[in-house]
Structure 1
Amino acid sequence: MTNNITWWKGAVIYQIYPRSFKDSNNDGIGDLAGITSKLDYIASLNVDAIWLSPFFTSPMKDFGYDVSDYCGVDPLFGTLQDFKDLVVKAHQLGLKVIIDQVYSHTSDQHAWFKESRADKTNPKANWYVWADPKPDGTPPNNWLSLFGGSAWQWDTPRQQYFLHNFLTSQPDLNFHSMEVQDAILNAAKFWLELGVDGFRLDVVNMYFHDETLADNGVADSPEKMFVGVDPNNPFSKQHHVHQMCRDDNLEFLKRLRNLLDFYPGSTTVGEIGAPDGLSYMAQYTSNGDKLHMAYTFELLSDKCEPLYLKDNMMRIADSLKDGWPCFALSNHDVVRSATRWTQGSNYKSAKAKAMLVFLLTQRGTPCIYQGEELGLPEADVPFDKIVDPFGIEFWPVFKGRDGCRTPMAWENQADLGFGSELTRQWLPADQSHQSLAVSEQEVDSASMLHFIKEFLAWRKNNIALLTGSINWLDSGDPVLLFERVDSSQKLIVAINFSEHSELCPDVDDGAAIVWSSHEVSSTLKPYQCTIWQV
C-alpha cells in the first residue's frame, strides 16, 4: 500500500449496511457486535477499509439517515462501547474504519430541531431553514423533495415552513449559520477522537441553499436532470441550481478539511448527486484543501456498454485533474450490480467478475458493497414487505431500495445465517441467495468469492493499480484497453465486455502477461480480463 497518510489512495473500501450484515442478538436487525464478529472474514477479502452506513441514534424513519443524536449509537445497533470494540479489532486486523456522516439534515426528533421550532427567538431559531408562506399561504417557492411533493412542510408551532429535501421528518440544517457549522465540526471531532479513519459524507453537495429562495428552473435537457433519480420522480424535472451545489459549500469543506488535517491519515469521501456531477467532483477535490475523494452516480446507473464506461472514465479523469475519484458499482441505494449489469446475459458469472475487475483496475478508490463479492443479485421484496419510504411512495414504477438491503448471505439456510431462523428479520432473506452464501463459496475454488479474494491479494502488490495514472488506448469495441502507469511499473489491462470472443489486442513488444481470468490465447473469451506488465 501507499504510506499511512495517503492510505486511501487506491485502497479498497468494503461498505457495510449494519441493519443487514449480521444480527448478534437475534432481534432481526444487524448490529455492531455482529459486524465485529465478521471482521476476520472482511479482512480475508484483502480489502483495506470498511465503511459503515449510519448506526447513530435515530427514529429510523429513513433507517438511520435521519439522525437524532450525532454522537450517540442507536440501541438497535448496540452501545458506544460496542463501536469502540469494533474499531479496536478492525485496526488490529489492519482495516481502516470509515463512518457515514449525514450533515445536510437531521431528524425532526433531534434536540436542535425541537428547540428551533419552539419559536422564532430561541438560541437555535436559525439552525434550520425556515421561511414564511406566500401571501396565499403556499410554500415560499417551487423546490421539490426527492421523496415526492414540495420540499417545504408547514410547522404549526413556529407558524412557518421548514425545508426538507428528503422526508418531512428530515428538516434541513441551515449551514449559513456558523453555529451550525461549529456544531457539525464538533460532532466530526467526537468520532475522530474515538479513532475513526474517515467519513463518507452523505449528499455533500446539499449542505447550502440559496438564501433568496429563488425558484428552480425547468430541467430542459437530460444533462440538467438530477443524476441518480428515477426520471419519473418529479424532482428530476427541475434544475436545482438554487436548492443545492452552492459555492458557499467550498468554505465549509475547507473548514472540515482543516479539522481532519489534525488527524493525519484521516480521509473523506463525498457523495455527489447533481446535474453535471463531474464538475462538482473536480471542484470539491481540487487543491488538496477540501475533500480527499468524491463520487457521482455514473457507475451506479443501468448503463454498462463499453463505450459508455470508457467515455465516462475519460471525462472523470479530464475533469478531476489533481482530484481523486472514488467508484462503486453498487451501494445501499441502487439495484445490485449483479442484477443491473447482467440482465439478459448468458454469462452472468463471467460478466459479474469482469465488472469488478473493471472497478478494481480504474484510477481511484473502489468500494465493494456487502454481498457484491458473492455476486448476490437484487432481492425480490414483495410490496407487503417493503419498508423503504422511497419505495412505498413510488411503487410500482420504482420499488425502492429494499432489494439491495436484505440480509447478507452467510449460510445456506432459510435465514442465510444472518441471525436466528426463529426471529423475523427486518427485511426477508432472499432464498435465491442461499446457494451463493459465504459457506458455499468458501469451499468452491471457482466461486466469485475466491476470484475476488485472489484478485485483491494480487492487486495489493501492483503499485500501478493503486496510485498510478491511467491512459486509455485505442481498441475495437467491445474491448476496453488501458494502461496504469507508476514510476516503477506499467500495466496494460484488456477487458472483453461482450459475449463473443474477440481478438486479443496488440500490446507493447516485450509485455508479459501477469494476470488473466481465463486461459491465455490469441483471443479474449467472453468477459475475459487479461493484464500485461511492460
Structure 2
Amino acid sequence: MAGQDWWKGAVTYQVYPRSFQDSNGDGIGDLPGITARLPHIADLGVDAIWLSPIFTSPMRDMGYDVSDYTEIDPTFGTLQDFDTLIARAHDLGLKIIIDQVLSHCSDQHPFFTESRASRDNPRADWFVWADPKKDGTAPTNWLSVFGGSAWTWDARRKQYYLHNFLSEQPDFNFHNPAVQDWHLANMRFWLDRGVDGFRFDTANYFFHDPQLRDNPADFREKSRPDGNPYEMQYHLFDKNRPETTGWMERIRTLLNSYEARASVGEVGDSHHAIRLMGEYTGPSRLHQCYSFEMMGPDYAPAVFQSKISNFFDGAPNGWPMWAFSNHDVPRHVTRWSRHGASQDVLAKQAAALILSFEGSICLWQGEELGQTDTDLAFHELTDPQGIAFWPEPVGRDNTRTPMVWDGTANGGFTTGKPWLPVNPPQLARNVAAQVQDAESVLNFYKAMLRFRRETPALKTGRTRFLDLPDPVLGFLRGDDLACIFNLSPTEVTVRVKDLAALIGPTRAATIHGESLTLGPNGVAFATVTNPIEAP
C-alpha cells in the first residue's frame, strides 16, 4: 500500500466517533476511545479509517454543522488527542481520512454571524442570499433534504438564505473564490497535521444555479407521494452544477502538493449518481467517489452489474468506492434480510460480494459483526431527519447505535448511559464472542480481507461479467479469477465453463464438470482453466 496510489483498490473502515468507544463515561464516544480500539481495525486487515466529523459543532446534525473547522469539539477530545490517534494509526499501518463538511456550516459559525449582519460587510456574499419574490415567498421552489423549503428568512438582511439541510446549516457561496481559498487553507491545516486524505460530504451540493431557476417535478412516474417530498423534484438547479468539477481540480492540486494523500467524494443523487461519480474523479479531480447506489432495498444481480458496468463504461479514467451501508442508511443485513438463509449467512455473502468488486471499498463500523439496525421508539430519536419524517423514511439513529465490544452492559461501549441504547439483538453480536468463534461473521471478514489483499486481481483486475441466470451473479476479475454468488436463500445449479479449483473463502459451493452448485447464499471463488483477458 506504499506510494501515491495506496488508495486504489484499498478498503476503508468508517468510524462514527460518537458511537465507537467512550473513554470517560459520558456516554459519547471520543478520540481516546477510538485510539484504544485501533488494534481491532488493524487486525481486520483494512487499509484506512474514515472518521466522521470531529470538529467544533453545536451538534444540531451530529457534527455535520461545523462552527470551527480547525478545532476538535470538546465532546471528542483535543487536538493533542487527535495527534495521538494519527500517530498510533500510522504505527499500526493505517491511513486516516477525515470528513470535510464544506458545502455548509453551522449558523453559529462566526462568518455566518458576520454575513447575516448586513448586506455590505466583508463576508456579505460568503453565503447564498436572495431577495424574496414580490409576494414575499422564497426565491425558488428548492426543498431541504430535511423537510420544508431550502430557504429561511432572515430579518436582519431582509433576505432569504439557502440551506440544503437544516435551517441551522447555511450553504456557503462557492461562486465566491474567497470561500474556496479559505476552505483550501483549512484543509492545509489538517494535511500538515498528518491526515492521509479527506472524505467530502455532499460533494455535489457545492454550487447552486446563480439564476435561481426552479427545479422541475421529478419526471419518474410515482403512484403516491414520496415519504420525503425532496424526492419529488428533479434537482437540476440546487445541486449537480457544472462548476463543481473546477473546484474538484483545485482540491486535487492541493492534495498533489503533499505526499501520498487521497480524496473521496460523497455523491447523493437519485438520478445521476453514477455519472457524477465519474465526472468528479480522474487524474486531475478527486481520486474516487462513492454514492448510495448500492445502499437500496434491491439485492439482485442486475443491480450490482449495472452500477459497476455503468461506472467504468462512462468513466474509464475515474475510480469508484463502493459501500453497502453507512451512517445515513439502514444496515444492509436488515435491508436485505429476506434474501438470506440467515443473518450470518447473508452477512458473510455480502462481505465476499463487496470485497470482490472492482474499485475501492468502504465498510461501516459493525458491518464486520453482521450487525443489524436497532428498533428505536420515537422518544429515543436524536436525528432531525428521523424526527421530521417519522415513521417514514426510517431515520439514521437506527444504524448509529454504539459499537458492541462484549456482552456486558452497554456492550463495553461506555460505563455511563449511552447516547443511543444498546439493545439485546445488537448486544448478541459483539466482538469478544465473535473473535472466539472460528465460524463467526467477524472471522469471515478477516479471511475475505486477507484474500483480497493477497490476490492482485481483486485489487486492480478489470471486470468481465458472466452471462448467468438470476439469482446468480458472476464475473471474472483480471484474466483468471471467477467470482460467483447465489443471491438467494435457495440452492441453485448453473453451467459455467472452464472453472478449475475453488479457492479462497468459498462457501457452500461444489464443481462437477461444467456444473457449479451453490447452496443458499453460496459463494464461489475459482481459477479458470482458459484465462480470458477482461476488457
TM-score normalised per structure 1: 0.95
**SS in structure 1 at match of 2:204:** helix
- Pick one of 322, 326, 337 that aligns with 1:327: 322
Matched residue, 1:114: 113
What amino acid sits opposite 1:527 in the alignment? N
CA distance in 2, matches of 1:232, 1:520: 45
Structure 1 position 529 matched with structure 2 position 511: no
Structure 1 position 387 matched with structure 2 position 386: no
CA distance in 2, matches of 1:509, 1:361: 17
Matched residue, 1:442: 435
What amino acid sits opposite 1:141 in the alignment? T
Contact 1:307 1:478 in 2 (8 A): no
Map residues 191-270 of structure 1 onto 2, 5 A cutoff.
191-221=190-220, 231-270=226-265
- Structure 1 runs, 4 residues or longer, greater than 4 Å off: 509-512
Structure 1 position 461 matched with structure 2 position 454: yes
Matched residue, 1:501: 491
- Pick one of 280, 302, 307 that aligns with 1:284: 280
Contact 1:392 1:399 in 2 (8 A): no
Matched residue, 2:54: 55
User: Deviation string for 1:353-409 (max 9, x for gaps)?
Assistant: 111111000001111100000001101111011010001100012231000000101
CA distance in 1, matches of 2:499, 2:128: 63
Contact 1:515 1:532 in 2 (8 A): no
Contact 1:218 1:238 in 2 (8 A): yes
What amino acid sits opposite 1:502 in the alignment? V
**SS in structure 2 at match of 1:527:** strand
Give the 3 Å change call, closer, same or farther, for CA 509–27 of structure 1 in structure 2. closer
CA distance in 1, matches of 2:455, 2:38: 25
Give the 3 Å change call, closer, same or farther, for CA 507–119 of structure 1 in structure 2. same
CA distance in 2, matches of 1:296, 1:454: 26
What amino acid sits opposite 1:481 in the alignment? G
Question: Sequence identity, in percent?
Answer: 47
CA distance in 1, matches of 2:437, 2:501: 32
What amino acid sits opposite 1:437 in the alignment? N
**SS in structure 1 at match of 2:318:** coil
**SS in structure 2 at match of 1:239:** coil
Contact 2:103 2:206 in 1 (8 A): yes
CA distance in 1, matches of 2:165, 2:448: 39
Matched residue, 1:89: 88
Superposed CA RMSD: 1.6
Matched residue, 2:344: 349
Contact 1:270 1:295 in 2 (8 A): yes
CA distance in 2, matches of 1:21, 1:500: 36
Q: CA deviation at 1:295?
A: 1.4
What amino acid sits opposite 1:304 in the alignment? Y
Contact 2:340 2:521 in 1 (8 A): no
Structure 1 position 407 matched with structure 2 position 397: no
CA distance in 1, matches of 2:34, 2:45: 17
User: Deviation string for 1:303-353 (max 9, x for gaps)?
Assistant: 112222222222222222111100110100000011011136433221221
User: Deviation string for 1:418-453 (max 9, x for gaps)?
Assistant: 010xx2211111221122100110111110001111
CA distance in 2, matches of 1:343, 1:116: 51
CA distance in 2, matches of 1:439, 1:106: 39
CA distance in 2, matches of 1:430, 1:184: 40
**SS in structure 2 at match of 1:409:** coil
Give the 3 Å change call, closer, same or farther, for CA 521–468 of structure 1 in structure 2. closer
- Pick one of 364, 370, 379 that aligns with 1:375: 370
Q: CA deviation at 1:23?
A: 0.2
Contact 2:322 2:354 in 1 (8 A): yes
Contact 2:358 2:461 in 1 (8 A): yes
CA distance in 2, matches of 1:222, 1:102: 33
**SS in structure 2 at match of 1:300:** coil
CA distance in 1, matches of 2:425, 2:344: 15
Structure 1 position 520 matched with structure 2 position 510: yes
Give the 3 Å change call, closer, same or farther, for CA 335–514 of structure 1 in structure 2. closer
Structure 1 position 18 matched with structure 2 position 14: no
Contact 1:514 1:533 in 2 (8 A): no
- Pick one of 425, 431, 435 that aligns with 1:432: 425
Contact 1:346 1:499 in 2 (8 A): yes
What amino acid sits opposite 2:187 in the alignment? A
Contact 1:54 1:64 in 2 (8 A): yes
Unpaired runs of 5+ in structure 1? Answer: 224-229
User: Deviation string for 1:132-158 (max 9, x for gaps)?
Assistant: 111121111111101111110011122
**SS in structure 2 at match of 1:150:** coil
**SS in structure 1 at match of 2:474:** strand
Give the 3 Å change call, closer, same or farther, for CA 509–40 of structure 1 in structure 2. closer
Contact 2:99 2:198 in 1 (8 A): yes
Unpaired runs of 5+ in structure 2? Answer: 529-535
CA distance in 1, matches of 2:216, 2:404: 45
CA distance in 2, matches of 1:528, 1:464: 21
**SS in structure 2 at match of 1:416:** helix
CA distance in 1, matches of 2:113, 2:183: 17
What amino acid sits opposite 1:473 in the alignment? L
Give the 3 Å change call, closer, same or farther, for CA 510–452 of structure 1 in structure 2. closer
Matched residue, 2:533: none
What amino acid sits opposite 1:424 in the alignment? K
Matched residue, 2:298: 303
Report how many aligned residue pairs link the two structures.
522
What amino acid sits opposite 2:218 in the alignment? A
Contact 1:342 1:352 in 2 (8 A): no
TM-score normalised per structure 2: 0.95
**SS in structure 1 at match of 2:329:** coil
User: Deviation string for 1:222-277 (max 9, x for gaps)?
Assistant: 69xxxxxx932111111111101111111111011000001121111111112211
Matched residue, 2:532: none
Matched residue, 1:226: none
Contact 1:100 1:201 in 2 (8 A): yes
What amino acid sits opposite 2:253 in the alignment? N
Contact 1:484 1:492 in 2 (8 A): yes
- Pick one of 268, 272, 285 that aligns with 1:273: 268
